Amino acid sequence: MKTVLRTLLCTAAVTLGLLIPAAQAQVKTVRVASGLSAPVAAVSAPGDFERLYIVEQTAGRIRVLKNGVLQPVGSPFLNIFAKITAAGQEQGLLGMAFHPLYPAAPYIFVNYTRTGDGATVIERYTVTNPDTATTTGSVPLKTIGQPQSNHNGGCLQFGPDGYLYVGMGDGGNFNDTGTGHAVGGNAQSGTTLLGKMLRLDVDAPPNYIPASNPFVGDPNVLDEVWAMGVRNPWRFSFDKATGDMYIGDVGQDAVEEIDFEPAGFAGGANYGWRCMEGLNCTGLSGCTCNAPTLTLPVHTYTHGSGCSVTGGHVYRGCAIPAIAGRYYFADYCANTIWSFKIVGGAVTSFQNDTALLAPGGGLSIGAISSFGEDQFGEVYICDRGGEVFKLVPTSFVSDCNGNNIEDSCELAAGIAPDVNGNGIIDSCECTPPSIYCSPKFNSEFCLPMITSTGIASATAGSGFVVSCVDVLNNKSGLLFYGVNGQFGAPFQGGTLCVAPQVKRTPAVNSGGNPPPNDCSGVFAMDMNLFAVGGLGGTPLAELTVPGTVVNCQWWGRDPGFPAPDNTQLSGGLEYQICP
């Protein structure tokens, strides 16, 4: 998928003969997940900055992308494959949304076409923990018959009013006609929920009708209806900052459209299908073309530029302020990505961002099925071929932990600690190693002195050497180490400087002069190499986590002392693991 960029006025840079706004040079896409089964939605939970939930249409699963890592296919967040039918390309698990009061209200809502008859089911599930929802005790809110397998809509979004909005297609077929279609089309008939935007109060008793819905009390229109006259509103979204709603409504043979509802709109719009397709008059019955009661789209494009619009999101992220307020959307057939801004209810600064957002490196974004948004407001693109991409800056001011999130955004959201308040994420800030705790004199009256060179790194694999000098020659020694802080307990005639649980490295001979005993021995061990298993054994996870504070102390044999004090002990060394 490709998404979109930039901002206000163009300071021109000429690239491939096109004038590209300078701000655009700040945006690119990176792939954040692959190996998925027809991803069609990417959703975040209120207050959860760690996870993105990815809906797999044909597998009937929801997968978790947690801290940038796709969790195993065998441990999905939800799996309702047994309930769905995905026989038609537009069927399957189509959408999900978290309750706006989550996690206090621990519910998700999903939209799927059920096995057997292909009816649309909007159903509630309970979240047992952020990585798992239970499949037992589900509660269906609505079941809506579908006369054909296509035009099912499927998008679910909670609006700023706390109500659940549902996009419903016209039931399928051609020109909103055939079996199961009303005279004049389902989209214009008030007696069916097909061809509508619905609004539900999920906290009310069945039938979940908000009292403020525009047609409540109208005997000619069902109470659930928020808006009429849509053909297949496959993807719609709300602007996180303004509350405006954008609807991508898939056209018939000629025109694709984006519809727009400003925040605070009271509902009741009629978007004109089937007497209109975009701005075109179709000649079909059901409504009057260009009637003043119809709401026209804010943007259209013909099938010379594509064949199926994928509605997107307004960028309200932290990382790329230059594109704030731009609405990104795409065409599923052409793999084209565009963006624009709405100013005064009209489209401005429209641009094609396809080339700009191409990921490069042999990757491409195709079959753009959906856009997504995380809790930062960052925008994602779902490629139905199995991948998810993210809009990121071409260069971060600072991304010290390499998670494709601007450090200032993590700090502003309060999800990354900065205890000393210096504007640097603690896990990325490496406190210089320090010496503490007293060493023990050995039998040659030397004090073994511990020190280090290099940087303790979670990723380098080598280059951080802990050494101890003034130790007895040709004696075996090792490091005690632990991650539970400093210590100061009596131990073998000296002091144990590492708090339990104490672990040990492999033993190393100190070398030095040949006998007799003197203090020419030297101990040295690369702790980065040890941490990754390079000195034998398995990698040690506790020594490869950025920000972890490690305490260590050298220990060696000293035959000049009687047991149990026949040992040498350095002081303690405390160091922090850097990224």
Task: Look at residues 203, 125, 218 and name the one whose alpha carbon lies nearest to residue 164.
Answer: 203
Q: What is residue 545's predicted lDDT score, i.e. its pLDDT? A: 86
The CA-based diameter of the chain, rounded to the nearest angstrom, is 107
Domains (range + CATH), the chain? 12-395 (2.120.10.30), 398-424 (no CATH), 434-576 (2.60.40)
Q: For residue 118, what are the CA distances in angstroms to 57, 176, 234, 319? A: 14, 18, 17, 41
381 residue type, one letter: I
Q: How big is the chain, counted in residues?
A: 579
Distance CA 283, CA 178 (A): 17
- Confidence (pLDDT) at 349: 96
Task: Cite the beta strand spans of 384-463 per DSSP E.
Answer: 387-393, 434-436, 449-454
Dump pLDDT digits (tens) for 165-177: 999 999 999 999 9
Q: Which residues of the chain have pLDDT under 50?
A: 1-20, 22-23
Find how far residue 319's CA is from the centre of its chain: 14
> How far apart (Å, rounded) are the C-alpha atoms in residues 155 and 233?
8
Distance CA(272)–CA(278), nearest Å, equals 8
CA distance 578 to 552: 16
Phi, psi of 389 (to 5 degrees): -120, 160
Compute the 3-state secondary structure of the chain and give helix, strand, coil in percent, each to the nearest 5. Answer: 5, 40, 55
Confidence at residue 2, expressed as pLDDT on a 0 to 100 scale: 30
| Non-local CB neighbours of 159 within 8 Å, separated by 6+ positions | 165, 199, 238, 243, 245
pLDDT at 13: 29
pLDDT at position 21: 53
Q: What's the confidence (pLDDT) of residue 19?
A: 39
- Give the pLDDT confidence score for residue 210 in this predicted structure: 98
Q: How far apart are CA 192 and CA 188, in angstroms?
A: 9
Predicted local confidence at residue 10, as pLDDT: 28
